[in-house]
Amino acid sequence: MKGCTIAVIGHVDHGKTALVRALTGIETDRLKEERERGLSIALGFAWRDFPTGGIEFVDAPGHEDFIRTTVSGLTGVSAVLLVVSAVDGIERQTIEHLQIASLLGIHAGVVAVTKSDLLGDDALALACAEISQGLIEGPLDGAPMVCCSARTGAGLDALSDALACVVDRLAPPPALLGALLPVDRVFSVRGSGAVVTGTLLGAPLRLGDEASIQPSQRRVTVRGLQSRGSDCQAIEPGRRAAVNIRGASVEDIRPGDVLCTGAAFAPSRRIDTRVALLPSAARPLKSLDEVRVLLGTRGVTGSARILQGGAIQPGEAGLVQFRFAAPILAYAGQHGVLRRLSPADTIGGLVVLDPVASPSSRRDLARIEVLHALQGNDPSVVARAITRRDGGLVALRELERLLQIGQADLNGRLAPDFSLVEAGCLALRTTLDEAASVYLAALADAHRQAPARVAVPLADIRRPLARLFGSALVTDVERTLSENATIRNVAGKVALAGHDPLEALDEARRARMLYIEAILRAGGATPPDPTELAVPDMEDDLVDLLIDLGRVVRLRNHALRKNLLFHVAALREAYSTLAANFPGPSLFRTGEAREALATSRKFIVPLLEYFDAQGWTVREGDLRGLGGASETPGAPQEFPLHLPPSPILSG
């Protein structure tokens, strides 16, 4: 059966509790003090079935001292039953309750004009006209109005019909990525343990569900479910629920906590919101103002940070970050109420935009753009705003939290314009194309500046691009270009696929490069110092090119603080010599290796350290042995250029 929860609101002594009792036959004043004083202090609960569906009534206190309790009762409800005495008309708490309903996004309901039997026809007509006038521009402007009497029963049938029509017209409650129950009562049942109650939001809650109590993050299990006093297997959102939980005691939970399922909810000390002040607010809301924030069934003091402008004036709206002394749990799209600490007046309301906000300031323009986009609730607009803030990327998990839409659904909605990249992030296809073009242009420019270099260090390309697009997006573009064979990416270096450094050398420079290679090759295990190479007008880029081509290796003698150059053929021959002199399990000292290679300590130490690093030798204290290679090790990893073999090596 279709159903909903309706809050019964209105000024104290206007007959709310009596009307609910007359409609349902249930007494909602549970406390002895309430019955003695004839004044509702806590929330009361009743229910009744109508032809169009069931209604669960939450009887909210009418006294101004219990506004927080009233807000708790309005949390999660679909509509309100406003009770106004025909004798007294609209009073202060009537107006404040209507304001709170509007601030919480509730704009459906019925107006019950009670105690109608105490007035004559003319006086009653005049009272109804005044009540209608007082409702203009409020959330119940134009709502059905029914004159009735809880004492005589007059008008109750008409009121029931009006309530049934409300149930029939109500849209389903908004969906969330999980069940969420703001707790308004906590008690213990002998033999069963802790029970929490509230109006269920989001998704259905089922027997056996794993859940958590927030903001303490205590893990619990749904042990039992009741609706309208009867056990059930599941409860749909929008209905009142009593939940028996396993994993926590009544001492672990308090009203204001939240029972929720799923991973889309998390506590935070900061929330970003859109605040609207009532025209009746006595003064502006300024940064660092402390106010009472009523969210769900929790009331907590928050410090305001105005994100645009210096203040929000009465009757105006703006973006505000609230910071709290302890974590709270909120969800994107949640409505809340703001009250001054003193005097305790309702001054406005808020809508949560980011329930897990990072520290922000008025200068954070990119973040402010995202918050403006969130007010439209369009996934594409929000995703584009986040990409401008985060270097071209938007995390699916963040979109899920901000929009309460599952990742699979988000992928489907954004697929026309966005592509999935690494780490669960999306990027605009146009941005990926732009980043690829910039990447290739930067690489081409690096080749123009150093045409004789085989490749460019990856960091030289990535670093400036990451400032434009974000490192994750650059990495994804790089991977795509490599898979498409547009670039070559090996050992921390990158080059355009068609780049050939030898084309940049004229005959004279090519000859000088081959001459340098020949000298180093002839030097064997005792090569000449790089500064002593007798090459006219020698250029360092020729040596770098030989290293890039995998024909020369640069080693470091740390003790002498000198770089040494070895030809790879000389390294292979040195290894073969050691293998011949120290076969099998034989171990040797550094001095013995130096004698076998007929070289000096200047060369043998960096040479053996290189062999160790390559795994060709294994060091054990002062001794070394061969690394177990069955064949002469090959050259170090070469950049794949498909160049002709070295004439020195092949000759």
3 neighbors 9 (Cβ within 8 angstroms): no
Same domain for 160 and 192?
Answer: no
pLDDT band at 466 (very low <50, low <70, confident <90, very high): confident
Q: Which of 367, 392, 412 finishes a domain?
A: 367
Residue 522's CB: how many other CB atoms inside 10 A?
A: 12
CATH code, 540: 1.10.10.10
Q: What is the mean pLDDT of residues 394-400?
A: 92
Last-in-domain residue among 120, 142, 169: 169
Q: What is the pLDDT of residues 474-489, one digit of tens each?
A: 988 999 999 999 998 8
Q: Which residues contact 449 (CB under 8 A, 6 or more apart)?
A: none
Determine the average pLDDT of the residues in 402-418: 92
At 589, phi and psi to the nearest 5? -95, 170
Q: Are 14 and 131 part of one and the same domain?
A: yes
Confidence of residue 36 (pLDDT cuts 50, 70, 90): very low
What is the pLDDT of the chain when averaged over all its residues?
Answer: 88
The residues near 533 (Cβ < 8 Å, ≥ 6 apart) are 516, 519
- Residues of the chain above pLDDT 90, percent: 66
588 pLDDT tier (thresholds 50, 70, 90)? very high
Residue 605 predicted with pLDDT over 60? yes
Same domain, 183 and 325: no
* pLDDT score at 364: 83
What stretch of H or E contains 27?
none
Query: Region 303-308: what's the mean pLDDT?
Result: 94
10 belongs to a structural domain: yes
The span from the CA of 489 to the CA of 409, in Å, is 35
Q: What pLDDT score does 538 carry?
A: 47
- Residue 211 is assigned to a structural domain of this protein: yes
Name the token pair of 271.
Answer: 């929330």
pLDDT, average across residues 362-374 = 89
Residues 589 and 535 grouped into a single domain:
yes
Is residue 295 located within the same domain as residue 189?
no
For the segment 404-409, the average pLDDT, to the nearest whole number, is 91
Structure confidence at residue 533 (pLDDT): 67
CA distances 581 to 124, 190, 584, 587, Å, are: 118, 86, 10, 10
pLDDT, average across residues 566-595: 92
Residues 133 and 212 in one domain: no
For 121-140, what is each residue's pLDDT tens digit?
Answer: 999 999 999 999 999 989 99
Q: What is the mean pLDDT of residues 424-448?
A: 94
> Which residues make Cβ contacts (< 8 Å) with residue 371, sequence separation at least 6?
272, 274, 307, 319, 353, 354
pLDDT score of 65 more than 90: no
Q: Is 389 part of any domain?
A: no
In a domain, 648, yes or no: no
CATH code, domain carrying 222? 2.40.30.10
Q: Which two tokens stand for residue 645?
A: 């073999």
Higher pLDDT, 36 or 225: 225
Q: Is 152 in the same domain as 201?
A: no
Q: Would residue 489 count as lying in a domain?
A: no
Q: 108-118: per-residue pLDDT in tens?
A: 999 999 999 99
Q: Which has the higher per-residue pLDDT, 538 or 625?
A: 625
Q: What is the mean pLDDT of residues 575-584?
A: 90
Q: Are residues 31 and 119 in the same domain?
A: yes
Residues 165 and 225 in one domain: no
How does 361-382 read in b/e, with b if 16+ C-beta sit within 10 Å?
eeebeebbebbbbbeeeebeeb
Q: How many domains does the chain have?
A: 4
**Domain presence at residue 372:** no
Residue 502 domain-assigned (yes or no): no
Do 554 and 607 fall within a single domain?
yes
- Angstrom distance (rounded) from CA 141 to CA 324: 36
- Give the least confident one: 53-62, 198-207, 232-241: 53-62
Which of 138, 169, 200 is at the close of a domain? 169
Q: Do residues 141 and 15 both lie within one domain?
A: yes
Structural domain harbouring 287: 267-367
> Which string of b and e fits 52-64 if b means at least 16 CB within 10 Å?
bbbbbbbbbbbeb
Secondary structure element (H or E) that encloses residue 426, with its range = strand 425-428
Count of all residues that appear for the chain in the document: 651
pLDDT tens digit string along 243-288? 999 999 999 999 999 999 988 899 999 999 999 999 999 999 999 9
Instruction: Please check whether residues 31 and 155 belong to one and the same domain.
Output: yes
Q: What does the pLDDT average to over 559-580?
A: 92
Give alpha helix (H) positions in 83-173: 92-103, 121-135, 156-169
In a domain, 520, yes or no: yes
